[in-house]
Amino acid sequence: MLDLTYSKSVPILTRNSQQINIWIIGTGGTGGWLVPNIARLLKVLETSTNKKVSCTLVDPDVIEAKNIPRQNFIQSEIGCNKALVLAARYNLALGCNLTAIHKPFQRDLLDNYWRGLTLIIGGVDNAAARYQISQCLEFNQNKEPNIWYLDCGNHAHSNSGQVLLGSTNKFELKNAFDNPENPSFCINLPSPSLQHPELLKPQPEELSDTTLSCAEIALRNQQGLFVNQQVAAIATEYAKALLLTGGLRRFATYFNSDIGSMRSHYIWTNNLAQYNSK
């Protein structure tokens, strides 16, 4: 069937702020490929908008030999922390100012940094970490949110995945648009965990064997060798449109590289009505 909802969709309008904060949570599979893209976006934001921009990378893990085929690391970096390595590499290569935190992400890390316009990009592989990120949306007290959450995920046993964008854990359609009857722009979206509640439910591999790393889970599930780069590329386009160029009219994108398909859900009242809080 031909999807005509794009023609009815409206773009996101973010609050105007002189401070932009980007957080990348998880710098392994997807996050590691996101970092060079976001670092370049930072440079453009700084030069074209004259806004103050920061980017923080968060990951407690060290690089292992099994990470090399799928993740954005090299042999000589084995044994080093992932976030620290990527921050140092792209600060040197591009003249950025990336900050690294080499411990698990917790909501309270954002306590002093959520002011301004903040985009949290999740590249994590477990429900506990997604829960901590999702809780950051509770900082959004106003109708126009300070914090947006972009969740990146890929599926076991296939070259498929999704990118989901949201801003609130308690979505109300009446607060999503400037005029719900005849909207011209969107100011609020349901969080990734509202769109897919299963993201906050531990997967069998999380419950049965806590010693498995994300790389071992990927190998066990035979995830696509290049699926993480595909997720990172889609997420980068979301970040660019949200923070730089404007005009973002979608809130979820799904792809399957095995069959060459990609589809998005567009920002339209009928598409969002199903997430309306009861």
pLDDT by residue (tens digit) across 23-48?
Answer: 999 999 999 999 999 999 999 999 99
Give 103: exposed, middle or buried? Use CB within 10 Å, 0-12, 13-18, 19+.
exposed
Say how far residue 74 (Cα) sits from the centre of its chain.
24
Report the mean per-residue pLDDT for the chain.
90
pLDDT class of 55 with cuts at 50, 70, 90: very high
More confident residue, 50 or 35: 35
Whether the CB-CB separation of 51 and 45 falls below 8 Å is answered with: yes
Least confident of 20-24, 80-84, 106-110, 233-237: 106-110
Tell me the CATH architecture of domain 5-275: 3-Layer(aba) Sandwich (3.40)
H/E element, 48? helix 31-49
pLDDT confidence bin for 167, thresholds 50/70/90 = very high
Tell me phi and psi for residue 112, to 5 degrees. Answer: -100, 10
How far, in whole angstroms, is CA 273 from its chain's centroid?
Answer: 23
Q: What is the pTM of this model?
A: 0.92
Over range 94-102, report the average pLDDT. 94
Domain extents for the chain?
A: 5-275
Q: What is the distance between the alpha carbons of residues 120 and 188, in angstroms, rounded to a whole number?
A: 15
pLDDT tier, 115 (very low <50, low <70, confident <90, very high otherwise): confident
pLDDT of residue 210: 52
Q: Among 55-64, 91-100, 110-119, 240-249, which stretch is predicted with the lowest mean pLDDT?
A: 110-119
